[in-house]
Amino acid sequence: MSPMTTMSSFYNGMVSNDELDYYQARAGGPGMIITAVANVSDNGKGFEGELSAASDDMIPGLTKLAATIKQDSAKAILQIFHAGRKSNHQVLRGE
């Protein structure tokens, strides 16, 4: 399954139950699922509701996400991302 952003993470990029439900509904179909983009650093966030892989705090949620995708033997790929100059002050809370 190609990566498709759903903009449904928490404000800080933590995985939400809505996201787990979204991947749960698709697990067992494709042999490989690539997630929505996940920013690799806090200043790389490009939009609200984006997944984050920017800190260790995100690991428990990302672990649940991986387990959800892999439950029926699919490969789970986290798509990493940095918005660069396409981000803005509003999304970065003034930074």
Q: Is 49 in the site for ligand FMN (CB under 6 A)?
A: no
| DSSP assigned state of 94 | T
Q: Which of residues 22-41 bind ligand FMN (CB under 6 A)?
A: 36-37
d(CA 72, CA 26): 10
Q: Is 3 in the site for ligand FMN (CB under 6 A)?
A: yes
Structure tokens at 68: 């959800």
Q: Is 67 in the site for ligand FMN (CB under 6 A)?
A: no
Residue number with CB closer to ligand FMN (85 or 94)? 85
d(CA 20, CA 25): 9
- Find out whether 17 and 60 touch, Cβ atoms under 8 Å: no
Sole window of 3-11, 24-32, 41-49, 65-73 interacting with ligand FMN (rule: CB under 6 A) = 3-11
Q: Is 90 in the site for ligand FMN (CB under 6 A)?
A: no
